[in-house]
Amino acid sequence: MDDAPALVVRGGYADWRRQALHALAAGWPPDAITWTEQANDAAGQMTLDHAAAEAGVAEPAPSHGAVPQVRISKDLAELLRDAALFRSSRRWAFLYRVLWRWQQGDRAVASAADEDGAQLNRMAKAVRRAKHDMIAYVRFHRRDGDAVPEYLSWYEPDHDVLAYAAGHFAKRMGTSSWCIGTPQGAALWDGRALHLTGTPPDADTMRAGARRDQIEPLWLVYYKSIFNPARLNETALQQRMPVRFWKGLPEGPLIPGMIAEARNGARRVGQTGTVGEMRGKPIAMDAGAAQPVRAAPTSLDQCRRCELWRHATQAVAGEGPDAARLMVIGEQPGDQEDLAGRAFAGPAGQVLDEALRRAGVPRDSLYLTNAVKHFKWIARGTRRMHKTPAQREVEACSHWLNQELSRVRPAVIVTLGATALNAVLGRGASLQQTLHQPVRVGDAWLLATWHPSYALRLQDDQARDDVRKAIADTLAQGWQLARSEETAAAGAVFDAGAKAIR
Nearest approach, Cβ of residue 432 and ligand URA (Å): 19
Phi, psi at 3, each rounded to 5°? -65, 130
Task: Please state the length of the chain.
Answer: 502
Q: 266-272: long-range contacts (C-beta < 8 A, 24 or more apart)? A: 266/229, 267/229, 267/230, 267/232, 268/230, 269/229, 270/228, 270/229, 270/230, 270/231, 271/230
Any contact of residue 334 with ligand URA (CB under 6 A)?
A: yes
Judged by CB under 6 A, the stretch of 245-253, 341-349, 395-403, 477-485 that binds ligand URA is 341-349
Residue nearer to ligand URA on the CB measure, 94 or 344: 344
The DSSP letter of residue 344 is T
Site for ligand URA in 441-460 (CB under 6 A): 453
Judged by CB under 6 A, the stretch of 178-186, 247-255, 290-298, 325-333 that binds ligand URA is 325-333
Nearest approach, Cβ of residue 394 and ligand URA (Å): 12
Cα gap 52→49, rounded to integer Å: 5
Closest CA to 168 of 57, 14, 40: 57
Nearest approach, Cβ of residue 377 and ligand URA (Å): 12
Closest CA to 441 of 468, 473, 402, 474: 402
Any contact of residue 343 with ligand URA (CB under 6 A)?
A: yes
Per-residue binder mask for ligand URA (CB under 6 A), 346-375, x = binder: x-x---------------------x-----
The DSSP letter of residue 327 is E
3-state secondary structure of 157: coil
Any contact of residue 117 with ligand URA (CB under 6 A)?
A: no
Residue nearer to ligand URA on the CB measure, 184 or 336: 336
Residue nearer to ligand URA on the CB measure, 95 or 348: 348
Does residue 306 contact residue 396 with C-beta atoms inside 8 Å? Answer: yes
Nearest approach, Cβ of residue 369 and ligand URA (Å): 8
Question: Which residues, other chains included, contact 422 with Cβ-Cβ below 8 Å and sequence gap of 6+?
Answer: 371, 391, 394, 428, 429
Residue nearer to ligand URA on the CB measure, 56 or 330: 330
Per-residue binder mask for ligand URA (CB under 6 A), 275-314, x = binder: ----------------------------------------
Any contact of residue 333 with ligand URA (CB under 6 A)?
A: yes
The DSSP letter of residue 300 is G
Neighbours of 326 (CB within 10 A): 27
Any contact of residue 332 with ligand URA (CB under 6 A)?
A: yes
Residue nearer to ligand URA on the CB measure, 125 or 386: 386
Cα gap 489→479, rounded to integer Å: 15
Any contact of residue 344 with ligand URA (CB under 6 A)?
A: yes
Q: Give the interface size with ligand URA as a residue count (CB under 6 A).
A: 12
Cα 81 to chain centroid distance, Å, stands at 42
Does residue 365 contact residue 466 with C-beta atoms inside 8 Å? Answer: no
Any contact of residue 330 with ligand URA (CB under 6 A)?
A: yes
Any contact of residue 400 with ligand URA (CB under 6 A)?
A: no
Does residue 436 contact residue 470 with C-beta atoms inside 8 Å? Answer: yes
Any contact of residue 491 with ligand URA (CB under 6 A)?
A: no
Nearest approach, Cβ of residue 423 and ligand URA (Å): 11
Residue nearer to ligand URA on the CB measure, 84 or 405: 405
Residue of minimal Cβ distance to ligand URA: 330
Amino acid at 159: H
Phi, psi at 298, each rounded to 5°? -85, -15
Q: Would you tell me which residues interact with ligand URA (CB under 6 A)?
A: 330-334, 337, 343-344, 346, 348, 370, 453
